[in-house]
């Protein structure tokens, strides 16, 4: 039985859920008894489908998104809608219409974005699984900041039906959970899940990326490379990761600006309206360069994982930070690569920084090797033992 009063009480401290469905019931199947929270830009029948926007505050979904329908068919229980960045464009989940979501590991800190409600709800135990969406890292960064496990399928391996899109070629729905077994079980239900073996099964990483990381992130990743116990190939990209990520942002800004062009601008926040200006004002020459960078990076990453099997990287260059601070521009420097190259990627907890906040390790693999990426994640997870439940939420089941 779901203790709705306890859930609502715990949620008041986090603002992870915007709406609960007290009539929710599950079914039979591999996910029987599993409670699921759903990000607000994914349609759940008879629930608000706001995408974090005042513009859509009164919109109610008439039917389930394809992934939600799959979860229901597998027995999952959709218990409510999760807070997110307005229109899924942002890095803190500081929503101007639905309020801030807080990281359960430290009071006043961000859970990351744009799927911040998803990361916070899973970490605190308000639901067993959450669905988030990932345009350039918005499943994996909240998972890393909140110390849980997150999976981004290849975009071409999962339906976008019932998703309020940010940028069609980059957008992807993905699950978060507190353990790899449940994460894999959900991933198998909602996405095309390949059993291919990576060609070599070896490891590679990127060097000279230009990313400014927290010292603890660097030290944590160096430890992981030593513990991996294998020769790790090093690969250079042609462009700094910040330039690659910015090209992805411009592509997203252009798509979203077109999407909102005919909408009531008074119902968009000033922050969102500013983000939507970057794409349209891009010169034709710069836009051509952006597209060339994205195409070249996609090709290089596809070759990298085809040749080496796996690419390992920090999930984010830093741990979570206070809501009172500006979001670092480089948050998605590492995570953007999987979206640009249409690759599956997973993040696992890898340790903590000196503030007691979680850090994450990201693994990328070729499409079709989803079982293999989970197998490597388990191998590394056993060594890292990086998962730790937030102490303030130990009583939530």
Task: Give the residue numbers marked as catalytic.
Answer: 39, 114, 138
H or E segment at 173? strand 173-177
Cα 338 from Cα 62, distance rounded (Å): 32
Judge contact between 345 and 363, C-beta under 8 A: yes
Per-position DSSP letters for 135-148, written without gaps between them = SSSTTHHHHHHHT-
Cα 244 from Cα 199, distance rounded (Å): 26
Look at residue 345 and give its three-state secondary structure.
Answer: strand
Encoding tokens for residue 61?
């979904």
Encoding tokens for residue 293?
């960078």
Judge contact between 370 and 344, C-beta under 8 A: yes
Look at residue 310 and give its three-state secondary structure.
Answer: strand
Cα 44 versus chain centre, distance: 19
For the sheet containing 173-177, what is the strand order? Answer: 17-20, 77-82, 35-39, 129-133, 173-177, 149-152, 345-352, 358-364, 309-314, 202-206, 232-235
Judge contact between 74 and 31, C-beta under 8 A: yes
Cα 131 from Cα 37, distance rounded (Å): 6
Backbone angles phi, psi at 238, to 5 degrees: -70, -30
Strand-pairing partners, residue 313, are: 362
Judge contact between 374 and 162, C-beta under 8 A: no
């Amino acid at each position: 039985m779901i203790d709705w009063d306890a859930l609502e009480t715990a949620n008041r401290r986090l603002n992870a859920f915007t709406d609960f469905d007290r009539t929710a019931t599950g079914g039979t199947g591999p996910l029987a008894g599993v409670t699921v929270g759903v990000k607000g830009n994914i349609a759940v029948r008879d629930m608000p489908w706001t995408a974090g926007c005042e513009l859509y505050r009164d919109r109610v979904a008439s039917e389930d998104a394809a992934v939600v329908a799959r979860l229901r068919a597998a027995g999952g229980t959709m218990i409510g809608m999760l807070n997110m960045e307005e229109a899924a464009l942002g890095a803190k989940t500081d929503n101007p219409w639905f309020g801030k979501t807080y990281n359960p590991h430290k009071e006043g800190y961000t859970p990351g974005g744009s799927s911040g409600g998803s990361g916070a709800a899973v970490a605190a135990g308000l639901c067993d699984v959450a669905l988030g969406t990932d345009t350039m890292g918005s499943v994996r960064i909240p998972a890393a900041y909140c110390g849980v496990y997150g999976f981004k399928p290849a975009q071409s391996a999962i339906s976008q039906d019932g998703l309020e899109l940010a940028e069609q070629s980059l957008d992807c729905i993905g699950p978060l959970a507190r353990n790899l077994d449940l994460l894999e079980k959900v991933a198998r239900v909602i996405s095309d899940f390949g059993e291919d073996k990576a060609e070599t099964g070896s490891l590679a990483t990127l060097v000279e990326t230009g990313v400014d990381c927290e010292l603890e992130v660097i030290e944590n990743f160096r430890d992981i490379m030593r513990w991996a116990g294998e020769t790790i190939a090093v690969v250079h990209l042609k462009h700094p990761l910040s330039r690659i990520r910015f090209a992805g942002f411009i592509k997203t800004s252009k798509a979203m600006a077109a999407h909102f062009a005919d909408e009531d601008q008074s119902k968009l926040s000033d922050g969102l309206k500013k983000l939507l200006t970057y794409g349209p004002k891009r010169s034709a020459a710069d836009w051509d360069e952006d597209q060339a960078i994205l195409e070249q990076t996609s090709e290089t990453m596809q070759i990298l994982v085809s040749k080496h099997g796996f690419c390992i990287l920090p999930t984010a260059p830093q741990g979570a930070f206070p809501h009172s601070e500006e979001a670092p521009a480089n948050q998605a420097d590492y995570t953007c690569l999987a979206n640009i190259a249409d690759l599956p990627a997973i993040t696992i907890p890898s340790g903590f920084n000196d503030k007691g906040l979680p850090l994450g390790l990201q693994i990328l693999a070729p499409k079709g090797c989803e079982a293999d990426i989970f197998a490597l994640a388990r191998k590394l997870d056993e060594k890292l033992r990086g998962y730790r439940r937030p102490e303030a939420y130990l009583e939530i089941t």
